[in-house]
Amino acid sequence: MIQFIIRLLDEVIMHGTSTNASIELDATGICVVRDVVPRNLVAAALFDVSSQIECMLALPGRSYGTRYFLRYRPYGNVEQKECQERSNFVPKWTKSHAELLASVLDGKVGDVITGALGGPPALSEITAIVAAPGTKAQTVHSDSNFEETAPRAITCFLALHDILEERMGPTKFYPSTHVPACFRQGKWLPPPDDHYRHPMAVRHLEDSKEQWFPLRAGDCVCMDHCCWHAGGANKSDRSRSLLSLTFVQKVS
Ligand SMILES: O=C(O)CCC(=O)C(=O)O
């Protein structure tokens, strides 16, 4: 009986947490979900990502900067002989990655994404992002431009180790930049960069307050694809590693 009550309480707490997170995600374009994946799966993923980065860097070719992107292909491994250069390196997708993905979707994050997308999500991309020590900050960007009729997409940045200090280069987010209603004229704008600087976007950026979240291994930040953000500068002496999972609305 006591076991049953504990389980019931657990479910109420968990359901409440994911409901609050969904509300937060809709309102601001960002929410943090704690303790998403068991520690052993996160540790295995970090070990794998670090070894795959070593394999990639051992190949001929050049890398652009020291923020490395490993794009997994969850639906079948690519012949390794096809990956002879850094630019076409594809990391191996293994059973433990599949377990990690299932674990993400089975728990609180699965509820948040399903709620945000209005149904079962489809995985569109899974990428490990490793910022080596000395990596510079990215310019503020959004991963998609807002389009009224485009299917919604949510990216989950899963911490593969504790990222508790700003000098480790956590992702910086600009809350309330994901939908037209966040902007003065009710029109969504991309963040200003060297190519396009809409005066209203410049002003919006000046008025916005960037936010980063201390994360423990296995915590994640869910972000609307149109939300402004930027990878931070890694001023620490250790690589900062995330797994970025993007889910889209299934179009029937
Ligand atoms: O490295 C990060 O923290 C975020 C990277 C990112 O946002 C991107 O490459 O689009």
Is any atom of ligand 1 closer than 6 Å to the C-beta of 166?
Answer: no
| pLDDT at residue 71 in the model | 94
Q: Where are the alpha helices (DSSP H) in the chain?
A: 2-28, 39-58, 95-106, 108-117, 199-207
Is any atom of ligand 1 closer than 6 Å to the C-beta of 191?
Answer: no
Span from the CA of 232 to the centroid of ligand 1 (angstroms): 8
Closest CA to 143 of 134, 135, 152: 152
**Looking at the whole model, is its pTM more than 0.85?**
yes
Burial class (CB in 10 A: 0-12, 13-18, 19+), 208: middle
Closest CA to 171 of 199, 211, 134, 141: 211
| pLDDT at residue 17 in the model | 62
Closest CA to 212 of 226, 230, 224: 230
Is any atom of ligand 1 closer than 6 Å to the C-beta of 131?
Answer: yes
Atom of ligand 1 nearest to the CA of 230: 7
Atom of ligand 1 nearest to the CA of 69: 9
- Residues 6 or more apart whose CB falls under 8 angstroms from that of 90 comprise 71, 72, 73, 77, 78, 82, 83
Atom of ligand 1 nearest to the CA of 171: 3
| pLDDT at residue 143 in the model | 97
| pLDDT at residue 13 in the model | 44
Question: Ligand 1, residues 67, 178, 240: which to mutate, most atoms within 8 A of Cβ?
Answer: 67
Is any atom of ligand 1 closer than 6 Å to the C-beta of 143?
Answer: yes
Q: Where are the alpha helices (DSSP H) in 30-186?
A: 39-58, 95-106, 108-117
The one-digit pLDDT tens for each residue of the chain (252 residues) are 555 455 444 444 444 567 789 899 999 999 999 999 999 999 999 999 999 999 999 999 998 899 999 999 887 666 666 678 998 899 988 888 899 999 999 989 999 999 999 998 999 999 999 999 999 999 999 999 999 999 999 999 999 999 999 999 999 999 999 999 999 999 999 999 988 899 999 999 999 999 999 999 999 999 999 999 999 999 999 999 999 999 998 876
C-alpha distances out from residue 250 to 97, 121, 142, 245, Å: 22, 6, 21, 15
| pLDDT at residue 88 in the model | 87
Domains of the chain in sequence order: 2-249 (2.60.120.620)
Span from the CA of 10 to the centroid of ligand 1 (angstroms): 33
| pLDDT at residue 249 in the model | 85
Q: What is the pLDDT of residues 206-216, one digit of tens each?
A: 999 999 999 99
